[in-house]
């Protein structure tokens, strides 16, 4: 089912440069969907800082390595709400695969690996955030049996 | 350059004759009215019985009414000829012209249907709503990329053939020309480098047909106004959302043999064939670029009214075979070779759709027809006057539809060839007879 030569592992210091690039591309892409996603003019430099912060944080950050090259990543934040029976929820905040490597199940593989780790942590649910107008993401998650769970609305202050 | 300029002022003449005739098509009875009593057969009370028959089996509508031979030529007027978004009313004369060609060359009754619906969902509801009246739908002059989604969805959701001529018609005519051009230069198309310049309706459809034909995507480069469609292009994620057809081409071809950011000039280095369907020339494609193509280069410059590069310029630059969209130059890549015949074929077998394989079959038959008459650098594709071509293409398409299980009726090549020949001949004879009898009025100054 999955591409041979594909390897998913937690992000580490050696991935800094590549991860920064992927983070930047992820946010540049989202810019398309709503003015509220517009990037800071120093976004590229900030993406580097973020990459450094992600690595070694409590977030679950995995990278997909293909032919010894990092071609995609996923970042999941676990949020707690103790009034809910499920207590903890894994939220996919960022997911990106470089275009030349799409259509090979890499994103699904990143999610599958992340889900396994979440399961080990006792997390019962995994959710995904993406811009409301991103119909490609919507189709993708629906195909992986995700269902609509939370709506988020926005307006200018 | 003057040698290709028109001698007749077609615009002026056309307006004058359109005003004189006030429309190009009218409906005519095809049953006898021997006395007014016959209306009891054709209308009430008799007509209740065919209605009952159709109510119990809707497919009977293809046998008991004119539905089997009637199609709609549907447009929203958002991309008419080279004129752009001129609106549905202004698109009407074009649709009516198309209907005339359908009838004269294919014996197909076509109804112009222009409308004000712009959005995709509205379009789909409209087509589904009118489906019971027609045996097929020809979409025409609709802006890109809406036209791609529209064709894909309509093909999925309707049970009658839906064809977008600006995509499939142009692509099939081009493929026919390419097949023979490659034959003439003695190269294998599947192993050649092919550059598609312009990523609108025609070339995106051509890309799909080339793939089905057997050209590996990596041998194809598609170039739009921003350069080669390439997975590393800066706007690639935006394309995924805004034009998934271009996006898929970028991913599938991997940009061919090029790097992101390369343009047409780089793409043509060593290329075996160029199909330009972009914007009117001359000078859009430069001689210096064609000069860098492989030996025996093939150049199709399809923009109208002026091709991206004049044929003599392309030839001076080393191209061996050149085709354009113009009737006054050799090798005209002309949709009119395709659509009347394709619809003749699919209507005769009550097909439910027109697959890419059927479009390719049409192209192959057109190519074969020209080959039988002797290929030369100035004859790789037949001309519209060669009317025996149409029944041949109809038969090839009909047989393919039966083979692929998308036809409601079965047929053989020979049977459909005879039927199509008969229908088309009768359609032409009716016209000619009305003309001779003066039932088609003589124009003020006879240009016949």
pLDDT digits (tens, 9 = 90+) for B340-359: 999 999 999 999 999 999 99
Dihedral angle, C-alpha B426, B432, B436, B440, nearest 10 °: 110
Residue whose C-alpha is closest to residue B178's, from B164, B195, B163, B165: B195
CA atoms within 13 A on the CB side of B146: 18
Boundaries of every domain in chain A: 6-143
Q: CA B358 to CA B398: how far, in whole Å?
A: 8
Chain A CB contacts of B250 below 8 Å = 99
pLDDT digits (tens, 9 = 90+) for B135-177: 999 999 999 899 999 999 999 999 999 999 999 999 999 999 9
At residue A2, the pLDDT reads 56
Q: Which of A29, A33, A100 sits opposite B254 (nearest CB)?
A: A100
Q: CA B79 to CA B447: how far, in whole Å?
A: 30
Q: How many helices (H) and strands (E) does chain A have?
A: 4, 5
| Catalytic annotation present for B11 | no
**Contact yes or no for A99 and B244 at CB 8 A:** no
- Answer yes or no: is pLDDT of B2 > 70: no
CA closest to A102 among chain B residues? B251
pLDDT digits (tens, 9 = 90+) for A4-36: 789 999 999 999 999 999 999 999 999 989 999
**Contact yes or no for A99 and B231 at CB 8 A:** yes
| Catalytic annotation present for B98 | yes
pLDDT digits (tens, 9 = 90+) for B98-127: 999 999 999 999 999 999 999 999 999 999
Chain B CB contacts of A32 below 8 Å = 237-238, 241
Structure tokens at B445: 């100054």
Q: Does A100 touch chain B (CB under 8 A)?
A: yes
At residue B317, the pLDDT reads 97
CA angle in degrees (0–180, nearest 5) for B268-B269-B274 = 25
Task: Please give the full DSSP string across B252-288, using - where no structure is assigned.
Answer: HHTTTT--TT--HHHHHTT-SEEEE-SS--SSSS-HH
Residue whose C-alpha is closest to residue B351's, from B75, B59, B83, B15: B59
**Contact yes or no for B240 and A25 at CB 8 A:** no
- Answer yes or no: is pLDDT of A52 > 70: yes
**Contact yes or no for B241 and A134 at CB 8 A:** yes
Residue B447: pLDDT band by 50, 70, 90 thresholds? low
pLDDT digits (tens, 9 = 90+) for A102-118: 988 999 999 999 999 99
Q: How large is the average pLDDT for residues B364-377?
A: 98
Q: Which of B231, B241, B251 sits opposite A136 (nearest CB)?
A: B241
Q: What average pLDDT is seen over chain A?
A: 94
pLDDT digits (tens, 9 = 90+) for B44-56: 999 999 999 999 9
Chain B CB contacts of A137 below 8 Å = none
Question: Could you tell me the domains of chain B?
Answer: 41-160 (3.40.50.10380), 169-324 (3.40.50.720)
pLDDT digits (tens, 9 = 90+) for B206-231: 999 999 999 999 999 999 999 999 99
Which CATH code is given to the segment(s) A6-143? Answer: 3.40.630.30
Residue B7: pLDDT band by 50, 70, 90 thresholds? confident
Q: How large is the average pLDDT for residues B417-423?
A: 98
CA closest to B233 among chain A residues? A99
Q: Which of A32, A98, A133 sits opposite B238 (nearest CB)?
A: A32
Chain A CB contacts of B241 below 8 Å = 32-33, 133-136
Q: What average pLDDT is seen over chain B?
A: 95
At residue B212, the pLDDT reads 96
At residue B31, the pLDDT reads 97
Residue B246: pLDDT band by 50, 70, 90 thresholds? very high
- Answer yes or no: is pLDDT of B309 > 60: yes
């Amino acid at each position: 089912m999955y591409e041979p030569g594909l390897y998913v592992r937690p992000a580490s210091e050696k991935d800094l440069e590549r991860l920064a690039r992927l983070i930047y591309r992820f946010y540049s892409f989202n810019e398309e969907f709503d003015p509220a996603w517009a990037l800071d003019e120093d976004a590229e430099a900030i993406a580097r800082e973020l990459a450094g912060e992600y690595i070694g944080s409590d977030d679950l950050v995995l990278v997909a390595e293909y032919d010894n090259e990092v071609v995609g990543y996923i970042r999941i934040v676990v949020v707690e709400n103790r009034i809910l029976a499920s207590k903890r929820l894994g939220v996919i905040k960022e997911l990106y695969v470089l275009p030349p490597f799409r259509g090979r199940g890499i994103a699904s593989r990143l999610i599958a690996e992340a889900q396994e780790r979440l399961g080990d942590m006792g997390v019962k649910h995994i959710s995904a955030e993406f811009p409301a107008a991103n119909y490609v993401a919507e189709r993708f998650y629906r195909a992986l049996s995700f269902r609509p769970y939370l709506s988020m609305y926005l307006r200018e202050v | 350059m003057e040698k290709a300029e028109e001698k007749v002022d077609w615009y002026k003449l056309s307006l004058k004759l359109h005003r004189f005739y006030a429309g190009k098509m009218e409906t005519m009875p095809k049953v006898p009215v021997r006395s007014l009593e016959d209306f009891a057969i054709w209308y009430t009370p008799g007509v209740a019985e065919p209605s009952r028959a159709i109510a119990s089996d809707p497919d009977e509508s293809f046998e008991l009414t004119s539905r089997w031979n009637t199609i709609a030529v549907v447009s929203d007027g958002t991309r008419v000829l080279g004129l752009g978004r001129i609106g549905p009313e202004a698109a009407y004369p074009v649709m009516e012209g198309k209907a005339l060609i359908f009838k004269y060359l294919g014996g197909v009754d076509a109804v112009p249907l222009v409308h004000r619906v712009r959005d995709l969902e509205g379009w789909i509801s409209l087509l589904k709503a009118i489906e019971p009246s027609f045996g097929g739908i020809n979409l025409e002059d609709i802006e890109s990329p809406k036209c791609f989604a529209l064709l894909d969805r309509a093909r999925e959701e309707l049970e009658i053939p839906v064809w977008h001529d600006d995509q499939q018609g142009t692509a099939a005519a081009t493929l026919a020309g390419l097949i023979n051009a490659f034959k003439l230069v003695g190269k294998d198309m599947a192993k050649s480098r092919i550059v598609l310049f312009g990523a609108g309706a025609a070339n995106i459809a051509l890309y799909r047909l080339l793939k089905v034909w057997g050209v590996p995507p990596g041998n194809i480069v598609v170039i739009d106004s921003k350069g080669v469609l390439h997975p590393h292009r800066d706007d690639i994620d935006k394309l995924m959302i805004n034009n998934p057809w271009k996006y898929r081409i970028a991913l599938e071809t991997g940009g061919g043999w090029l790097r992101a950011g390369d343009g047409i000039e780089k793409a043509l280095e060593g290329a075996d064939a160029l199909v330009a369907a972009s914007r009117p020339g001359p000078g859009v494609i430069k001689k210096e670029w064609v000069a860098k193509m492989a030996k025996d280069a093939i150049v199709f410059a399809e923009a109208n009214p002026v091709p991206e590069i004049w044929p003599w310029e392309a030839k001076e630059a080393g191209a061996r075979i050149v085709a354009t969209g113009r009737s006054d130059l050799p090798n005209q890549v002309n949709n009119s070779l395709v659509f009347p015949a394709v619809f003749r074929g699919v209507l005769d077998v009550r097909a439910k759709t027109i697959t890419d394989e059927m479009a390719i079959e049409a192209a192959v038959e057109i190519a074969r027809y020209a080959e039988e008459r002797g290929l030369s650098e100035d004859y790789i594709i037949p001309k519209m006057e060669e009317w025996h071509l149409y029944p041949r293409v109809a038969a090839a398409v009909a047989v393919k539809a039966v083979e692929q299980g998308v036809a409601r009726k079965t047929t053989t090549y020979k049977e459909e060839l005879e039927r199509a020949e008969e229908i088309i001949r009768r359609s032409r004879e009716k016209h000619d007879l009305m003309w001779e009898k003066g039932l088609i009025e003589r124009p003020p100054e006879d240009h016949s």
